[in-house]
Structure 1
Amino acid sequence: MGRPSAREQILDAFQEILIESGSAAVTLDAVAARAKVSKGGLLYHFGSKDALLNGLLDRLLRLTAADIEHARTAPEGVLQYYLRSSVTDASMDNPGHRCSVAVLRLLSSESKVAETMVEVGRRWTALLAEHIDDPLTAEIVSVLGDGLYLRATMGGPAPQPLLERLPEVLHRLGAT
């Protein structure tokens, strides 16, 4: 396998800076240095920070499409593949996941924001565990809530069938 193009090296550098240090560390100079290209070379491929972001978002959509195709034929099946690859530590070698993590780092330019949100999640999970006898079910309900919350935060559509049938969902989970 040959060396990646300068364009891909620049996107790799941008992505890794986001993952390692967050958006506050991203400057065109830092990305160029990490990619081992001149600032002029970076600007040749991406004329602005916004163009660089658009390049990363395009990469995420391409990698997601490829990952979805892989999931369709995964030996463990789509559901197990989806859930296992959704766990950060277990799938950081997945290029689509790494790109997604980098993009999500853009949501907060302050690490203390992410730390606070992790603590908020921990507190909610603890409360659920107090009210649901089975710890695994409490964790499932917590993760389900996280997904609903993330989707709403991103402006995505509310999953109406799930919300309309929430009592049934909770009953199936044994959480009522």
Structure 2
Amino acid sequence: MLGCGRGRKSSRERILDAAAELVSETGAGRLTLDAVAERAGLSKGGLLYNFPTKEALLQAMVQRLVDEVSAEREALRAHAEPGRNLEARLCTAALLKLRQGRTKEVANGMLAASAENPRLLDPVREVVKATLENLKATSDDLDAALLGWLAVEGLNSLEMHDLSPFSEEEHERIVQAVSRLLGKGIAE
């Protein structure tokens, strides 16, 4: 994440980092603005200046996840081999790269929070819609692009919810199958 001036993170970034840590530890349902302010090293007023409500904070957290996937896709683009189904390869590679660690934990917590407020996932819905339109417009083999994207989304969803029956070797086998389907390979 980019901070502001002289390498220091902005208070907004510190708040989002603190909220992500807390969501990873306790879930979004138990997230309080007081706990976030304390973890970020700010007064509650400082937090409220940036995020006037818990919903605003949660919305910013979802948007940050969306932005992280988009940034990862663009970073991969700089090194991607041109060729067949490029956008599908970039999309699946970005999703696979961000499937673990803090991103997984925060995404899982945000999904749980969306049960109480389904609108939290509106930015994700927009990205999914835009991704589908992009794949339709750019894929050399639309069937392969859609199957590859859906396979990776499904794999990530199973893993996010700790429901995956696949070993790491089986996971890699699926990724390689998607890579062959899309052409030229995807990178994790």
TM-score (norm 1): 0.53
Does 1:85 find its partner at 2:97?
yes
- Number of matched pairs: 120
Of stretches 60-69 and 40-49 in structure 1, the one that deviates more from structure 2 is 60-69
Runs of 5+ unmatched residues, structure 1: 93-97, 127-134, 145-168, 170-176
* 1:107 corresponds to: 111
Q: CA separation in 2, counterparts of 1:37 and 1:104?
A: 26
**Greater Cα radius of gyration, structure 1 or 2:** 1
Runs of 5+ unmatched residues, structure 2: 1-5, 83-88, 114-157, 182-188
* 1:52 corresponds to: 57
* 1:151 corresponds to: none
Q: CA deviation at 1:76?
A: 8.4
Does 1:140 find its partner at 2:174?
yes
CA 1:69–1:51: 2 relative to 1, 3 Å: same
Task: Report sequence identity in percent.
Answer: 38
Q: CA deviation at 1:30?
A: 0.7
Q: CA deviation at 1:61?
A: 2.5
Q: Which amino acid aligns with 1:72?
A: R
CA 1:64–1:35: 2 relative to 1, 3 Å: same
Of stretches 71-80 and 5-14 in structure 1, the one that deviates more from structure 2 is 71-80
Q: Which amino acid aligns with 2:112?
A: S
* 1:17 corresponds to: 22
Q: Given that residues 56 and 99 in structure 1 are in contact (C-alpha distance below 8 angstroms), is that contact kept between their aligned partners in structure 2? A: no
CA 1:82–1:44: 2 relative to 1, 3 Å: closer
1:3-32 residue CA offsets vs partner (Å, 9 max, x unmatched) = 101111001101111122222431111100
Q: CA separation in 2, counterparts of 1:2 and 1:82?
A: 26
CA 1:30–1:69: 2 relative to 1, 3 Å: same
Does 1:65 find its partner at 2:58?
no
* 2:46 corresponds to: 41
Q: CA separation in 1, counterparts of 2:93 and 2:48?
A: 38
Q: CA separation in 1, counterparts of 2:164 and 2:97?
A: 20
Q: CA deviation at 1:121?
A: 3.6
Q: CA separation in 2, counterparts of 1:99 and 1:67?
A: 12
| SS of corresponding position for 2:60 | helix
CA 1:67–1:32: 2 relative to 1, 3 Å: same
